[in-house]
Structure 1
């Protein structure tokens, strides 16, 4: 008996491999997938601007990464005892203007220096609703709890999103012609917009992605995380306590479907070998520092060296350092 409606996964898509570099930007779902990729030893840069929800903010953030923008005091504003960037998530806000600028510019420079190395750009959009600052006329990424009267709230049009990304992709592909772009739609419903408005918002995003796929058939791809959540995981046991965000079990399930789509058998084998090292390091010995435990750690070091010899692009620096620390206890 089939108790779910299976979602058809995309076929004939390029593979995601350990020797590639990925930049993930967008909603908190981008962070969910990005952290799982990092946990499985993929090279990822996740949300250099913090969590972003709407397509225009993601596009503008990518543009600033591309040109290597350097923020100054004029790009920030002071409100509620903190210095904020309208383009960044609140994790970059600080009581000190200098500290906010330092965090913003360090992270931006890091992303800019890596941009040309990226093989994949994974973008997760959350909502088609944006907030424009009345004074500047610019769409903000985060309102930072300012009064509603400061902003105009509006819903994006499909053409507006597509036009913005055509300009962006032209610039990105000029620098990196082999770049692949993978879109996902955040499975989180934005109930503050109203359930009907949320559906309209998601529909606009889906239509924009579909249009971009048609324009860039060998560059732009789509993974149906939104559809998997709604159709395969429609039971509330797959939701967090707020009944909106995916539960850890749901994220794991969507990750498995992602793995089915983008990972080759060899990639999955590497993941299994890496996971065995991680599990071994989580083992709690009865007698830390004993000769038996040191032999156990020595075997882990040998396994890391063997894997590094076979796959030199894997980064075991943290695991190797942990083994050395434990061996010296």
Structure 2
């Protein structure tokens, strides 16, 4: 008997190999996938403005990057002895105002370059719930613990999300028509919004993505569906019962590889994995002849990958 409903994925076109340039933007689940890609030494950049959960915040990042926005004093504010920007995650916040502004403008430049050069852009949407700052009427990427009374909480409609995603795709296509855009919905549940409200939010995101990719050249990877309909068990969650645990992330990553990683790249990934395990090895005697020979062999393997595939360790 089969007690699982496995999701079967087809091989995608325009697959990823070691010549690919990857940009991941969105919720914390995109961080999990980017870490996997980085471990295997793919050319990957992730969340230049930190984790962004809603589609409007991601659209703002892409618009500002392609328009080469210059951040100034007017775009930042001081709260709890740190400087923040509503467009970015608190990871970019800083004690010094000039440091934050410099980091924001540096991220804009790097994102502009990545959007223009990436072969694959993976966008992970987390929630359709947004917070609109009353003072400016702008939807923010992060509230930075500003009192909630200064915001209006809204649920983006399917139409609003679809318009935002189409704009994202069109703007990217203007500068990089060959880029493959992959959308996915984060399996992380935003239950602080409420169980029903979280389900409504995810439904809006999924519906808007499918409406968008039926019109523009986009793809969908079902990470949300794998968590909800395939794994479907609390043993695949962390202790908070919200975030997927390592086993779940590995499972979804394996499906991503089957669908999106070129088969000819698999053998190189195995070699990278072997080297990574070797680099993490802690010897009992670092000066032993055996370990010195091990390091020499490891360095030779690294050099081969550098020369043949431009893989950097």
Query: TM-score, with normalisation over the residues of structure 1?
Result: 0.91
Q: Aligned partners of 2:97 and 2:122: how far apart in 1?
A: 31
Q: Does 1:178 align with 2:178?
A: yes
Provide the C-alpha distance between the structure 2 equivalents of 1:52 and 1:310, rounded to a whole number of angstroms.
Answer: 36
Per-residue deviation at 1:174? Answer: 1.5
**1:62-73 paired onto structure 2 within 5 Å:** 62-73=62-73
2:50–2:88 contact (8 Å) kept in structure 1? yes
Q: Which residue of 1 aligns with 2:296?
A: 298
Match of 1:265 in 2: 263
Which stretches in structure 2 are left out of the alignment for 5+ residues?
Answer: none
2:280 is matched with 282
Contact 1:13/1:221, CA 8 A, preserved across alignment: no
Tell me how far 1:10 sits from its aligned partner: 4.3
Q: Partner residue of 1:38? A: 38
Are the counterparts in 1 of residues 51 and 89 from structure 2 also a CA contact under 8 Å? yes
State the number of aligned residues.
313
Structure 2 counterpart SS, 1:196: helix
Name the residue aligned to 2:136.
136
Deviation string 1:62-120 (CA, Å, 9 cap, x unpaired) is 11121222211100112222211000111111222112112222222222233311001
Alignment map for 1:103-114 (pairs within 5 Å): 103-114=103-114
2: CA distance, partners of 1:171 / 1:183: 15
Residue in structure 1 matched with residue 312 of structure 2 by the alignment: 315
Which of the residues 248, 255, 259 maps onto 1:250? 248
Secondary structure at 1:153's aligned position in 2? strand
Cross-structure match for 2:202:
202
Partners of 1:22 and 1:178 lie apart in 2 by: 13
Describe the superposition over 1:107-140 as per-residue Cα deviations: whole angstroms up to 9, x where unpaired.
Answer: 2222223331100110000110110011101000
Output the aligned Cα RMSD: 1.4
Give, in whole Å, the separation in 1 of the partners of 2:114 and 2:252: 28
Shift of 1:11: 4.4
Contact 1:157 1:204 in 2 (8 A): yes
Structure 1: which 5+ residue stretches go unaligned? 317-329
- In structure 2, the residue matched to 1:213 is 213
Q: Choose 59-68 or 270-279, whichever is displaced more.
A: 59-68
Q: Which runs of 4+ in 1 moved over 3 A?
A: 10-13
Counterpart mapping for 1:20-31 below 5 A: 20-31=20-31
3-state DSSP class of the match of 1:116? helix
User: For the residues of structure 2 that align with 1:154 and 1:84, how far apart are their CA atoms?
Assistant: 22
Is the contact made by 1:9 and 1:224 (CA closer than 8 Å) also made in structure 2?
A: no
Maintained 8 Å contact 1:69/1:108: yes
**Conserved in 1, the CA contact under 8 Å of 2:16 and 2:261?**
yes
Residue in structure 2 matched with residue 322 of structure 1 by the alignment? none
Counterparts of 1:95 and 1:5 in 2: how far apart (Å)?
50
Give the deviation of 1:232 after TM superposition. 1.6
